[in-house]
Structure 1
Amino acid sequence: MDKIILICASGRSGSTTTQRIVNTIPNSNICGENAGALNSLLEFYKRIKNTSFTYIPGQKLVPASYAELIANNYKPCWYNSYDFKHISLLIKQLITDLFKNSPSTNVWGFKEIRYDSGNINYITEFKELFPQTKVIIQIRENIKLQAKSSWYKEDERKSIIYLHKLNKDLVDFYNKHRDYCFFITFEKMFDIKYIKKMFRFLNCDEHFNETLIREVLQNNMKD
């Protein structure tokens, strides 16, 4: 079974470096951001699941036919004809096709920073689709310095408020799901012992390559 690793972070927290570190694992393909596209897909999955289990008339996820509803004088406002299990498989295949770039790739996933407004909770839907998923939650401890970087510096005061709220959401999610989430910060990312601990959590400790990881940490790529 493939290993699936997601990096869920705040912006300017070092998540791209963590992405590069995880990509030192042989046969891995941890992709970059997708502008929150997966959030939208997981929202679709969540809504279609709720529709299937709560509203569609029928039994055990087998929708009643239109003819059956009409014959039984049943208002067809929630009539649907799709197979929920089949739709779920299609969603899983789409996600796999997005990130598994070759048959030999057995460690795949992505990193994303668009988890404000409670969007981090979409990860529970991802975990439902792919139970083997491991998640790295990443923030930056020094929020004041973080707020001075990139787009945040346009309004540092508002950015600090925003980052405090986002960090709380990310940390709360980690605390609720410690069984499959690993917590790291920008500051801890440079501690080789801590990175080794992360690899152990990901069940990839045999692929911990200190030389390659130090090369990543010493090479600060420009945006």
Structure 2
Amino acid sequence: MAQAPAPSSQFFDLHAPAGGYVFVVTYGRSGSTVVQNLLNAIPGYCIRGENANALSGLARSWHQLNSAEPRNGLKARGTATTPEEPWYGAELVQPWRYGNFLANVFVREVLALPRGTRVGGFKEIRFHAEPMFFPAYMGFIRRFFPKARFIFNTRNHDAVLKSGWWPEMDQAGARAQLEKAEALFAAHVAAHPAVSLHLKYEDYAGNPEGCRPLFDFLGESFDADLVAGVLNQRLDHLQRPPQD
């Protein structure tokens, strides 16, 4: 797949992290906040938390524009449209430029990475909310976020279904949802192995050595003491009582 245009002053925020971006793709109660904390313990990393899948709308906007057959046909025609045509001006649209602006404004206004960030990104439990759009969504990220890498974090489904809000859901439907999400994850890992890592909660929970593949994937030095310190932290959001 073609790469995004070279960095420019117009897209300064997007290209500011020299090490690119990392996205933690998962579902709720998978242990992903631990992964988020591990990443943020690496010097120069700023991996934000969830943002209600805000990037999805931007990705869909770009995808709809880029794949619009009438617009592409007008572009290929080589002549300007007139005010009488229903797609007047569509041949002027530059999808690459539009996509870069969308990614840049997301980084600037949503991630708001601090100065000196070496690797940026975020974790989200809603990437798979629209299964049919998932491949195009991931494609948008790969295309416009420099050096994009994906960590697909999963957990034993029986454990997930006993945690948080999952017990309140129809169990058959919830299990099917988890299975569908993991099928999407696995397809991306298979299609894009160089930029994808499947990380299993059971492999790293309470086990610093289980995090070594994560550091190897990112090209970072593995520090067992640092990892152990993160894994031993108690997460406040797991201790708070449910809100009304």
TM-score between the two structures when normalised by the length of structure 2 = 0.78
Looking at structure 1, the residues matched to 151 and 197 of structure 2 have their Cα atoms a distance apart, in angstroms, of: 5
Matched, 1:199 2:215: yes
State the partner residue of 1:25. 42
The size of the alignment, in residue pairs, is 212
Cα distance change, pair 169–58 in 1 and its aligned pair in 2 (3 A): closer
What is the CA deviation profile of residues 122-164 of structure 1, one whole-angstrom value per residue up to 9, with x for unaligned ones? 1121101124111000111x21221111111112332122212
Aligned residue number for residue 78 of structure 1? 87
Amino acid at match of 1:160: R
Structure-2 separation of matches of 1:188 and 1:53: 49
Letter of the structure 1 residue corresponding to residue 223 of structure 2:
N
Q: 1:125 and 2:140 equivalent?
A: yes
SS of 1:127 mapped into structure 2: helix
Letter in 1 for 2:226: L
Partner of 2:58: 41
Residue aligning to 1:150:
164
Contact 1:55 1:78 in 2 (8 A): no
Q: Distance in 1 between matches of 2:23 and 2:125?
A: 11
Amino acid at match of 1:4: Y
Alpha-carbon distance change, 132 to 161 in structure 1, aligned in 2, over 3 angstroms: same
Q: Is the 8 A contact 2:62 2:95 kept in 1?
A: no
Asked if the contact 1:23/1:30 (under 8 Å) is kept, the reply is: yes
Q: Which runs of 5+ in 1 are unaligned?
A: none
Relative distance call for 1:187 and 1:165 in structure 2 (3 A) is same
* Contact 2:23 2:150 (8 Å CA) reproduced: yes
TM-score (norm 1): 0.85
Corresponding letter in the other structure for 1:101: L
Classify the secondary structure of the residue corresponding to 2:47.
strand
User: Cα distance 1:82–1:196, how it changes in 2: closer, same or farther (>3 A)?
Assistant: same
What is the rounded CA distance, in whole Å, between the counterparts of 1:203 and 1:168 in structure 2?
A: 27
Matched residue SS, 1:12: coil
Which residue pairs with 1:9 in the alignment?
26
Deviates more, 1:174-183 or 1:164-173: 164-173
Structure-2 separation of matches of 1:29 and 1:53? 41
Query: Per-residue deviation at 1:65?
Result: 4.1
Q: Distance in 2 between matches of 1:92 and 1:177?
A: 21
Q: Deviations over 1:35-72 (max 9, x none)?
A: 11111111111112223895362359x8x544xx36xx
Give the distance between the partners of 1:30 and 1:209, measured in 2 at CA: 18
- C-alpha contact 1:120 1:170 (8 A) present in aligned 2: no
Correspondence for 1:216 among 230, 234, 241: 230
Unaligned runs of 5+ in 2: 1-17, 238-244
| C-alpha contact (below 8 Å) 1:8/1:111 kept by paired residues | yes
Report the 3-state secondary structure (helix = DSSP H, G, I; strand = E; otherwise coil) of the residue aligned with 1:204.
coil
2:104 aligned to which of 93, 112, 120: 93
Deviations 1:171-220 (A, max 9, x none): 22222221110111111123322312211111223xx3322221111112
Structure with bigger RCO (C-alpha 8 Å, 6+ apart): 1
Shift of the 220–53 alpha-carbon distance from structure 1 to 2, 3 Å rule, reads farther
Cα distance in 2 for partners of 1:25, 1:167 equals 27
Q: Is the 8 A contact 2:71 2:87 kept in 1?
A: no
